[in-house]
Structure 1
């Protein structure tokens, strides 16, 4: 019997990146199989550039890939799956945490990511949404999850599910991530 290849985790922060106390950064620091997809400019995101960085990272990844996205990173995953579905073949799943409703955010730097693709993702996905997220209402999070054919996990009052939420290493998120592992 052959061993299953170890999964690679591509970390996709959102607008302005994820600082050192963000759960994404903590997961990266604790486990070398988590690799951040670096963007040229976290403060002035350009969709085409961000898509290209994800293309390159997914092509370089070893074994099955699990995407670990937060905020604008979730919207990036939706665009990538809709526009470059041929490149998503090795993706085993996606954890999509606190997707940002950029169409209603009123942030000029994010307008080139609009509209948000509302097309089923070609891999298993979980959307995690807070009841009090300032970037996305629960109703809109539910709409994203339904359109993306993702399971919705309502996490309660956790804000934008980021460093300010006080989650530390966010063990509940790691538990959800295990549901997306192949085999």
Structure 2
């Protein structure tokens, strides 16, 4: 699945990903994996989060696969809308899990600064995973975002926000979506060759 010529960047959402979160488990499991650290996980600032992502993408010449959760997904979409072509060219693909709909009526105040959500197609292969009972984004909204971003979509039954609270600590099932994404990336590379 992994390649020494690929880096994985973990992008947690609001309040970060604790030790028990699947993103933390994946960070310990995947080779060449780092976390995009934010100055303030509890009071997120879109500008700061985008700068941190841009910095990590360009921290090395190695291409990256982004693995985002919740507000991290919105950060990826909003970053991609304004990122330089050279930075976008380093991204092989993105796994976007449980995107947080920051435009929903009941959105926490701390997240509203990330609206509006970019609706532009992402210029790299993308897999979005939502849930049919996620309070942060309805399945209809998750599918809408996937369509706008040009992402393949999967809606899991009863998975909640796909975090520790919903019972997704190691989330081994999630690796299957990462494998599928990497297969699409490899197929795309072969077609270009």
Could you state the TM-score of these two structures normalised by the residue count of structure 2? 0.88
Superposition pairs of residues 28-67 of structure 1, within 5 angstroms = 28-67=27-66
Which residue of structure 2 lines up, in the alignment, with residue 168 of structure 1? 169
- Measured in 2, the distance between the counterparts of 1:45 and 1:178 equals 30
Shift of residue 160 of structure 1? 0.1
- Measured in 1, the distance between the counterparts of 2:99 and 2:34 equals 20
Shift of residue 42 of structure 1? 0.4
Which residue of structure 2 lines up, in the alignment, with residue 152 of structure 1? 153
Instruction: Kindly indicate whether residue 101 of structure 2 is the aligned counterpart of residue 101 of structure 1.
Output: yes
Residue 127 of structure 1: SS of its match in structure 2?
strand
Superposition pairs of residues 76-95 of structure 1, within 5 angstroms = 76-86=75-85, 87-95=87-95
- Measured in 2, the distance between the counterparts of 1:61 and 1:156 equals 38
Q: How many residues align?
A: 180
CA deviations over 1:66-98 (Å, ceiling 9, x no partner): 000000000000001111152211100000000
Shift of residue 31 of structure 1? 3.0
Structure 1 unaligned regions, length at least 5 = none
- Measured in 1, the distance between the counterparts of 2:138 and 2:11 equals 21
State which drifts further: 49-58 or 106-115.
106-115
How has the CA–CA distance of structure 1 residues 85 and 141 changed in structure 2, closer, same or farther, with 3 Å as cutoff? farther
How has the CA–CA distance of structure 1 residues 61 and 166 changed in structure 2, closer, same or farther, with 3 Å as cutoff? farther
Which residue of structure 1 lines up, in the alignment, with residue 6 of structure 2? 7
Superposition pairs of residues 66-145 of structure 1, within 5 angstroms = 66-86=65-85, 87-104=87-104, 105-145=106-146
Instruction: Kindly indicate whether residue 20 of structure 2 is the aligned counterpart of residue 25 of structure 1.
Output: no
- Measured in 2, the distance between the counterparts of 1:137 and 1:30 equals 30
Please say if residues 27 and 35 of structure 2, whose CA atoms lie closer than 8 Å, have aligned partners that are also in contact: yes
Please say if residues 85 and 122 of structure 1, whose CA atoms lie closer than 8 Å, have aligned partners that are also in contact: no
CA deviations over 1:73-125 (Å, ceiling 9, x no partner): 00000001111152211100000000001111432211211001111000000
Structure 2 unaligned regions, length at least 5 = 187-193
RMSD of equivalent CA atoms: 1.4
